[in-house]
Chains A and B, each alone.
Chain A
Amino acid sequence: MQTKRMTFTGSRVLPYLLLAPQVIITLIFFVWPASQALWQSMLRQDPFGLRTTFVWFRNFERLFDDSHYLVSLKTTAIFALGTTVLSMSLALLFATQVNRMIRSRDAYTTFLVWPYAVAPAIAGVLWWFIFNPSVGILPYMLEGLGYDWNHRLNGTDAMILVMVAAAWKQISYNFLFFLAGLQSIPQSLIEAAAIDGASRSKRFWTIVFPLLSPTTFFLLVVNVVYAMFDTFGVIHATTEGGPAQATTILVYKVFRDGFVGNNLGSSAAQSVILMAIVIVLTVVQFRWIERRVNY
């Protein structure tokens, strides 16, 4: 790791004092709970919480035999994929269009960035209202098209609802990164291709899009992490995992099994699996950023 060539040498205690607040908070609220989760994931409590036994990896084995958990894994994958694709493709579309503009660029940017400030839970409530079967506007319009929308009964409708809400909030983030990525592409490359007679769409797919790939990979990881973990509010404030668990993503299941179902061993085992997923995604992301892939 890099350091300054020249450093302060006189005081031996000072650096530890400076680090103390951050390290103490990290130890109490991160390292300790995470190790507790690891420990609890190997324990099982009887229903009254009177006796606890050490069961090694039985909680994990039980999870992977549990059809509810496997369904929830699949739900999470669908949800993460759908949210990521929806919000990234819209953001890329908007970013390429804004990037053509000269005078109106800032105005459009302002209009497109503010949803970043809306909390996921609020985004959920907003779309829940729009999709509400009795007062919402979209079900009314869908009815005109002959579709009977009801996210309270229909699992697919509920999934679409939470996906739209989660993707809507994330558009602004993706948009900003795509716009920054587009602006760093040298104009000379695009001009050279234009002189050689490449059409606009050919220039986009053969020059711009490949040069944008570091941004795209970065956003892909960030969006998957967002969809898996930060969307708890979207789901909890609207569908509450229903109907019939159609929108129970992994994070929501950890919460419900731990706090509502009081099944601590299983909830801890699920936490451990989630931590493993986050760590893998972070490592993948760092490797990609280090290499700065282009093609």
Chain B
Amino acid sequence: MVENDRWGNLLAHLILILGVAVVVFPVYVAIIASTHEGGTFLRGVMPLLPGGHGWENYSTVISEGRSNAGTPPIGGMLWNSFVMAMMIAVGKIAISLLSAFAIVYFRFRFRLFFFWVIFLTLMLPVEVRIVPTFEVVASLGMLNTYAGLSIPLIASATATFLFRQFFMTVPEEMLEAARVDGAGPMKFFKDILVPLSVTNIAAMFVIMFIYGWNQYLWPLLITTDDSYYTIVMGIQRMVTGADSEPLWHLVMATVVMAALPPILVILFMQRLFVKGLTETEK
């Protein structure tokens, strides 16, 4: 701190408190709305203080859902989201570790070519090539399966690049020592490289779990069977599925349940999350 300026600091706190209020406001409103009964929303503007129906709203969405409007109980959707996010996170990390290992520690023909093939995937988000990707998945019979939900999204180059970057910083002496002791490539990988990368793997996991959990367009396209709906796309069905006004108290209870898991991941693993974010993208 260059100079001590009390009014400036006070102003800074004021700006930040206002900022935090703006950032928190939408979720506060959602939590409040999820504690009122349905009738509250017919009477006009929603209240800003909690009501007394929270318990029954949450138990309704968890156990019954809104079967009449075509949305299943959210327990199953939460499970599907969890499976999809885990498969994407673990799958991405596994295939990226292997390919980064190959690119850094081996010399072989077409190495540069493969590097570019992987690099290409960095560029194109699913959203720009949805129709042809959908056709591929459909012709492989992967609609309405967990494999179809996760495998097409596993191919992305970010994790490969992070691990490549990290492997380049591992001292050469490690490899020499391992070779002197007679360790083969896979033993070196398993006993030295992977244990050294644990922090990076964890940071990557946080980012990829959130990425997988928050997928929207892809599950919307390839699931028609409601036992494969994920929670984020399920909300859209709740909002637009009914002809009348949405049942706000139930929608908001679902929104809170859908947003909670990734938010908890970030709050509990904040340091890893920040590391993963700032290091992958730079």
Task: Report A's interface with B, CB cutoff 8 A.
Answer: 1-12, 14-16, 18-19, 21-23, 25-34, 36-37, 40, 90, 93-94, 97-98, 100-102, 104, 108-123, 125-130, 134-137, 140, 168, 171-173, 176-177, 180, 190-191, 194, 200, 218, 222, 225, 229-230, 232-233, 236-237, 240, 251, 254-255, 258-259, 264, 267-268, 271, 274-275, 278-279, 282, 289
Which 3 residue pairs across A and B have the least CB separation, nearest first?
A: A33-B132, A119-B214, A117-B262
Give Cα A125–Cα B232 distance, bound, in whole angstroms: 10
In the complex, are the beta carbons of A117 and B155 less than 8 A apart?
no
In the complex, are the beta carbons of B123 and A279 less than 8 A apart?
yes
> Does B198 touch A at the CB level, under 8 Å?
no
Q: Enumerate chain A residues within 8 angstroms of B172, measured Cβ to Cβ.
A: 4-6
In the complex, are the beta carbons of A14 and B185 less than 8 A apart?
yes
In the complex, are the beta carbons of B239 and A125 less than 8 A apart?
yes
In the complex, are the beta carbons of B106 and A7 less than 8 A apart?
yes
Q: Enumerate chain A residues within 8 angstroms of B274, measured Cβ to Cβ.
A: 113, 176
Give Cα A218–Cα B281 distance, bound, in whole angstroms: 9
Give Cα A186–Cα B45 distance, bound, in whole angstroms: 51
Give Cα A231–Cα B218 distance, bound, in whole angstroms: 13
Task: Report B's interface with A, CB cutoff 8 A.
Answer: 1-3, 5, 8-9, 12-13, 15-16, 19-20, 22-27, 29-30, 33, 41, 44-46, 48, 94-96, 98-99, 101-108, 111-112, 114-115, 117-118, 120-125, 127-133, 135-137, 151-152, 154-155, 160, 168, 172, 175-176, 184-186, 188, 210, 213-217, 220-221, 232-233, 235-236, 239-240, 245, 248, 251-252, 255, 258-259, 262-263, 265-267, 270, 273-274, 277-278, 281-282
Tell me the minimal C-beta distance from B207 to chain A in angstroms. 10
List the B residue with the shortest CB-CB distance to A274: B128
State which of B2, B26, B98, B107 has its C-beta within 8 Å of the C-beta of A126.
B26
In the complex, are the beta carbons of A111 and B24 less than 8 A apart?
yes
In the complex, are the beta carbons of A110 and B270 less than 8 A apart?
yes
CB contact under 8 A between A268 and B95, given known A15-B102, A18-B102, A113-B270: no
In the complex, are the beta carbons of A23 and B277 less than 8 A apart?
no
Could you name 20 residue pairs across A and B whose Cβ atoms are closer than 8 Å? A4-B104, A4-B172, A6-B176, A22-B95, A22-B96, A22-B99, A23-B117, A25-B152, A26-B117, A36-B135, A90-B19, A111-B20, A116-B266, A121-B235, A125-B235, A130-B26, A137-B48, A176-B277, A233-B232, A278-B123
Q: Enumerate chain B residues within 8 angstroms of A22, measured Cβ to Cβ.
A: 95-96, 98-99, 118, 155, 160
Tell me the minimal C-beta distance from A197 to chain B in angstroms. 11
In the complex, are the beta carbons of B277 and A137 less than 8 A apart?
no
Q: Enumerate chain A residues within 8 angstroms of B132, measured Cβ to Cβ.
A: 32-34, 36-37, 40, 268, 271
List the A residue with the shortest CB-CB distance to B220: A236
List the A residue with the shortest CB-CB distance to B113: A23
CB contact under 8 A between A101 and B12, given known A29-B151, A117-B210, A129-B248: yes
Tell me the minimal C-beta distance from B97 to chain A in angstroms. 9
In the complex, are the beta carbons of A173 and B277 less than 8 A apart?
yes
Task: Choose among B105, B131, B252 the residue with the greatest number of A CB atoms under 10 Å from its CB.
Answer: B131
State which of A6, A30, A93, A251 has its C-beta within 8 Å of the C-beta of B175.
A6
Q: Enumerate chain B residues within 8 angstroms of A15, measured Cβ to Cβ.
A: 102, 106, 108, 111
List the B residue with the shortest CB-CB distance to A33: B132
CB contact under 8 A between A114 and B266, given known A22-B155, A40-B132: yes
List the B residue with the shortest CB-CB distance to A231: B127
In the complex, are the beta carbons of A135 and B44 less than 8 A apart?
yes
In the complex, are the beta carbons of A93 and B19 less than 8 A apart?
yes
In the complex, are the beta carbons of B216 and A232 less than 8 A apart?
yes
Q: Knowing that A7-B105, A171-B23 touch, tell me 14 more A-B residue pairs with CB under 8 angstroms.
A: A1-B112, A8-B185, A14-B102, A30-B120, A112-B23, A120-B214, A121-B214, A122-B255, A122-B258, A135-B41, A136-B45, A137-B29, A232-B127, A268-B131
